[in-house]
């Protein structure tokens, strides 16, 4: 895969994604639902097929050749993710089913005696349900107090309000790096530093940031960082939690069963070391192995190049759509990734989504698992177009024509 610097290179990138080359309702597919899940390059698909065709076996415990080959490939992905996030140690990478399970792992474990009644947990208005509900449930279970960082009108976090929420009672701050609904890039370095000054733990939901932004967990000094493969051109159903060794070692296990056990007797069970202590049961082996191919794909192109391409598309789309009759757009003008959310006056977002689909254009409609945020914005949902490395200006032009036809239809 070449680093793209011109139109032909973008064409080469698109060739790597088989799903893009099809007709939807007799129109070429325009896939603008990348914030929900990105499409998969041939290298990822081939890695999955190769595993099942050539060395399908369970990992870690087997001594036969196939088991050893699978184990090596599985652990190589863990090492690659550690490098991708710049963790201090490979063992600080825990495999999960995705960002949601990674956050639930931390919430459940902290709920076993670490977070107590009267402690305070801070989340933001911008959170996906997956980084809100676990903390809401933890607060209800333990008697902790949940506090919410408000937002400004443009969809950016009110940092002054955040600073005022922090106190010696703050035990955890959990915020996303990037808003899945608005594309807002949060100032997590400042958020982390302020939390650390109060001695609080800090978790970053990196699901939307991982394929766009360079992530260095050591520089950030976060305690936890959660990501999902399927947001970064990898398989669904697999993710990872980064956690500092000393914190992970102090936390009780999340689930119990095979692999996370060191010794079992009728009287007592002792648990394995990290990362295996948090990886009960047979994992999503082929997903983990294929994830490395996705990481390699992103690295070969370069996050800087991906971000620049997506930023150009986002600016172009906003420029094309901002003057459409009846449109209201959400999200900050700066410090955002390639997500554009909007509504139209007197046209329901679901209708827009269906009518765009009739033209082969895939967007996301609804509350995007951010119902509290939608309530603050005063809408029941938005239309969300989100761009990836393989999208083009021409596709945005196609959507612009589609939106114009929808507006005329509802006149």
What is the reported pLDDT for 274?
82
Model confidence at 319, pLDDT cuts 50, 70, 90, reads very high
DSSP-based three-state secondary structure for 292? helix
* Residue 280: Cβ within 10 Å count: 18
**DSSP-assigned beta bridge partners for residue 33:** 386
Encode pLDDT of 256-306 as tens digits.
877 766 776 677 777 777 898 998 888 999 999 999 999 999 999 999 999
**Cα separations in angstroms, 64 against 50, 53, 68, 141:** 18, 17, 6, 46
Q: Give the global pTM.
A: 0.95
At 86, list the tokens: 């710049």
- Whether 180 contacts 373, CB under 8 Å: no
What is the reported pLDDT for 260?
66
H or E segment at 96?
Answer: strand 93-96
Of 36, 71, 24, whose CA–CA distance to 354 is shortest?
A: 24
DSSP-based three-state secondary structure for 275? coil
What is the reported pLDDT for 210?
93
Encode pLDDT of 8-38 as tens digits.
389 899 999 999 999 999 999 999 999 999 9
- Quote the strand ranges of 125-221, DSSP E: 145-149, 170-176, 201-205
CA separation for the pair 255, 313 (Å, rounded): 43
Q: At what angle do helices 285-301 and 65-85 cross, to 10 degrees?
A: 40
CA separation for the pair 8, 15 (Å, rounded): 11
H or E segment at 408?
Answer: helix 393-409
Encode pLDDT of 144-182 as tens digits.
999 999 999 999 999 999 999 999 999 999 999 999 999
- Whether 229 contacts 291, CB under 8 Å: yes
**Cα separations in angstroms, 408 against 324, 386, 411:** 11, 24, 5
Alpha-carbon radius of gyration of the chain = 22
* Residue 28: Cβ within 10 Å count: 15
- Whether 257 contacts 282, CB under 8 Å: no
What is the reported pLDDT for 271?
73
pLDDT at 246 over 50: yes
What is the reported pLDDT for 4?
41
Percentage of the chain exceeding pLDDT 90: 87
Percentages helix, strand, coil for the chain (3-state, rounded to 5) are 45, 20, 40
The architecture that CATH gives domain 7-31+302-409 is Alpha-Beta Complex (3.90)
- Could you say which DSSP state residue 225 is in? E
pLDDT at 5 over 70: no
**Cα separations in angstroms, 200 against 123, 195, 403:** 13, 5, 46
CA separation for the pair 76, 291 (Å, rounded): 10
What is the reported pLDDT for 9?
83
- Whether 344 contacts 407, CB under 8 Å: yes
Domain residue ranges in the chain: 7-31+302-409, 46-299
Encode pLDDT of 340-362 as tens digits.
999 999 999 999 999 999 999 99
pLDDT at 2 over 60: no
**DSSP-assigned beta bridge partners for residue 111:** none
What is the reported pLDDT for 264?
67
When pLDDT is averaged across residues 36-59 and rounded to a whole number, the result is 97
Domain 46-299 grouped into CATH 3.40.640.10: yes
Report, as residue numbers or ranges, the catalytic residues.
Answer: 369
When pLDDT is averaged across residues 200-212 and rounded to a whole number, the result is 96
When pLDDT is averaged across residues 377-394 and rounded to a whole number, the result is 97
- Own/partner long-range contacts of 330-333 (Cβ < 8 Å, ≥24 apart): 330/155, 330/181, 330/182, 330/377, 330/382, 331/154, 331/155, 331/179, 331/182, 331/183, 331/184, 332/154, 332/155, 332/156, 332/182, 332/184, 333/154
When pLDDT is averaged across residues 369-386 and rounded to a whole number, the result is 96
What is the reported pLDDT for 266?
72
Same topology, domains 7-31+302-409 and 46-299? Answer is: no
Please give the backbone phi and psi of residue 149, each rounded to the nearest 5 degrees, phi first.
-80, 120
CA separation for the pair 328, 407 (Å, rounded): 13
At 91, list the tokens: 């063992």
């Amino acid at each position: 895969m070449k680093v793209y610097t011109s139109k032909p290179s973008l064409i080469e990138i698109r060739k790597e994604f088989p799903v893009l080359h099809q007709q939807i309702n007799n129109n070429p597919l325009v896939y603008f639902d990348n914030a929900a899940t990105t499409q998969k390059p041939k290298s990822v698909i081939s890695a999955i097929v190769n595993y099942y065709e050539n060395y399908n076996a369970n990992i870690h415990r087997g001594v036969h050749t196939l088991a050893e080959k699978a184990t090596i490939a599985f652990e190589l992905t863990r090492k690659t993710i550690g490098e991708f996030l710049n963790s201090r140690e490979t063992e600080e990478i825990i495999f999960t089913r995705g960002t949601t399970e990674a956050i639930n792992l931390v919430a459940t474990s902290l709920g076993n005696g670490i977070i107590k009644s009267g402690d305070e947990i801070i989340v933001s208005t911008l959170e996906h349900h997956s980084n809100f509900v676990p903390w809401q449930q933890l607060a209800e279970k333990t008697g902790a107090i949940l506090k919410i960082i408000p937002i400004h009108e443009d969809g950016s976090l009110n940092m002054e309000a955040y600073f005022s929420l922090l106190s010696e009672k703050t035990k955890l701050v959990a915020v996303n790096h990037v808003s899945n609904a608005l594309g807002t890039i949060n100032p997590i370095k400042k958020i982390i530093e302020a939390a650390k000054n109060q001695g609080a733990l800090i978790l970053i939901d990196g699901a939307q940031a991982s394929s766009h932004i360079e992530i260095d967990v050591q520089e950030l000094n976060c305690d936890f960082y959660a990501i999902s493969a399927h947001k970064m051109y990898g398989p669904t159903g697999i993710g990872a939690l980064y956690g500092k060794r000393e914190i992970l070692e102090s936390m009780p296990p999340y689930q119990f069963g095979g692999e996370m056990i060191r010794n079992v007797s009728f009287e007592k069970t002792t648990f394995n070391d990290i990362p295996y202590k948090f990886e009960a049961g047979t994992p999503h082996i082929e997903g983990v192995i294929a994830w490395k191919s996705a990481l390699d794909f992103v690295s070969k192109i370069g996050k800087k190049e991906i971000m620049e391409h997506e930023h150009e598309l986002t600016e172009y789309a906003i420029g094309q759509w901002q003057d459409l009759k009846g449109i209201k757009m959400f999200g900050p003008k700066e410090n955002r990734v390639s997500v554009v959310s909007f509504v139209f006056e007197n046209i329901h977002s679901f209708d827009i989504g269906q009518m765009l689909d009739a033209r082969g254009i895939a967007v996301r409609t609804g509350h995007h698992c951010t119902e509290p945020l939608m309530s603050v914005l005063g809408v029941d949902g938005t239309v969300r177009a989100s761009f990836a490395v393989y999208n083009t200006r021409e596709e945005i032009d196609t959507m612009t024509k589609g939106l114009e036809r929808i507006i005329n239809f509802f006149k």
